[in-house]
Amino acid sequence: MTFQKVCKLEDLWEGDMEAFEVDGEEVLVVWPEGGEPCAFQGACPHQDIPLVEGRFDGKMVHCRAHQWSFCASTGKGVNPDHTQLARYPIKIENGEVLVQVEGIKPLFSAT
């Protein structure tokens, strides 16, 4: 499994989110307040809307289209609670943020 650089850690801020393309997958990197950076699928599982176009309040990622909300630490759906974001392994090495997408597919839910 190959980790790929998406950015430098200094390019991210705690309480911020950014989107990157890794091997053809849209990846959302979020840094929850008081936590560590996490990487999730970049599209809302509802209607494939880019989550980076939504809002991040430091704890939750909110889709712009229908206000679906996800915990920024786990990817677990909060509104609605039956959904989940695919989570990608992430690591920080030598000041660089690396993400691995191989073998992990985005999750989608019709409702």
Q: Give, in order, the Cα–Cα distances in Å from 92 to each of 35, 56, 75, 77.
A: 14, 21, 19, 26
From CA 83, how far away is CA 45, in angstroms rounded? 8
Share of the chain above pLDDT 70, in %: 97
Q: In the predicted model, is pLDDT for residue 110 greater than 70? A: no
pTM for this predicted structure: 0.95
The dihedral sign for the CA sequence 9, 35, 60, 110: positive
How do residues 24-63 score in pLDDT, each as one tens digit? 999 999 999 999 999 999 999 999 999 999 999 999 999 9
Which tokens go with 32?
A: 């929850």
pLDDT given at position 109:
83
How do residues 73-100 score in pLDDT, each as one tens digit? 999 999 999 999 999 999 999 999 999 9
Share of the chain above pLDDT 90, in %: 96
Domain coordinates of the chain in residue numbers? 4-99
Task: From the options 2.60.40.680, 2.102.10.10, 2.30.30.180, 3.30.450.40, give the CATH code of 4-99.
Answer: 2.102.10.10
